């Protein structure tokens, strides 16, 4: 789970969501509130398609621009899975993205899970290099898909 205090946000919405957007320098439009609520309620990174399934009729370009604005404003981070699909996860920390954790991607259903309790591996880079991003994605079968796979066999 990427959001630091999900219960407070879910219980106090929409005022907490509005504050979160405004503190990030974004207008608290109904569309942004809906997308942010969707990301928070999921408690895991979501792809564009998963968000569109939860919000039928949402224009894909508008969704893309909104998610990009969330990442730029540091209220969400993105992770690219082995399948090439970007997934987005909301967070409330304004001091920077708390995405300093690996993720797990189910290769069967496409669900991605934050592995919050584990740190990213440390790497040493040359002194003149600047890291602009990092990600670590483990992949395999989620518990539900692994169970279904065992039943088939």
| Alpha-carbon gap, residue 24 to 111, rounded angstroms | 28
Residue 126: predicted pLDDT: 93
Residues of the chain with pLDDT under 50: 1-6, 8-9, 12, 94-97
Peptide bond into 64 cis (omega under 30): no
Alpha helices in the chain (DSSP H): 6-12, 15-23, 30-42, 48-54, 60-72, 143-152
User: Tens digit of pLDDT for each residue in 70-109?
Assistant: 999 989 988 888 888 999 988 765 434 456 788 899 999 9
Would you say the C-alpha torsion 92, 34, 80, 25 has a positive or negative sign?
A: negative
User: Residue-wise over 50-64: b if at least 16 C-beta within 10 A, else e?
Assistant: bbbebeeebeeeebe
Q: List, in order, residues 6 or more apart from 27 with CB less than 8 Å away.
A: 21
What's the chain's length in residues?
153
Q: What would the two tokens of residue 75 be?
A: 């209220």
- Encoding tokens for residue 64? 């893309």
DSSP 3-state of 124: coil
Quick one: CA torsion of 21, 37, 97, 132, rounded to 10 degrees? -90
pTM of the model: 0.73
Which pLDDT score, from 0 to 100, does residue 11 have? 52
Distance, in Å, from the CA atom of 57 to the CA atom of 6, rounded to the nearest integer, reads: 26
Taking CA 150 as the corner, what is the angle to CA 144 and CA 153, rounded to the nearest 5 degrees? 145
């Amino acid at each position: 789970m990427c959001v630091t205090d999900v219960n407070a946000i879910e219980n106090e919405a929409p005022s907490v969501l509005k504050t979160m957007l405004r503190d990030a320098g974004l207008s608290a439009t109904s569309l942004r509130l809906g997308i942010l609520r969707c990301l928070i309620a999921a408690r895991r990174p979501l792809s564009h398609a998963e968000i569109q399934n939860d919000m039928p009729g949402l224009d894909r370009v508008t969704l893309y621009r909104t998610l990009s604005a969330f990442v730029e404003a540091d209220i969400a981070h993105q992770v690219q899975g082995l399948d090439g699909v970007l997934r987005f996860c909301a967070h409330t920390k304004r001091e920077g993205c708390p995405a300093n954790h690996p993720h797990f991607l189910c290769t069967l259903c496409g669900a991605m899970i934050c592995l919050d309790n584990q740190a990213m591996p440390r790497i040493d880079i040359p002194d003149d290099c600047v890291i602009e991003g990092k990600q670590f994605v483990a992949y395999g079968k989620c518990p539900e898909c692994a169970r279904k796979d065992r039943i088939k066999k």
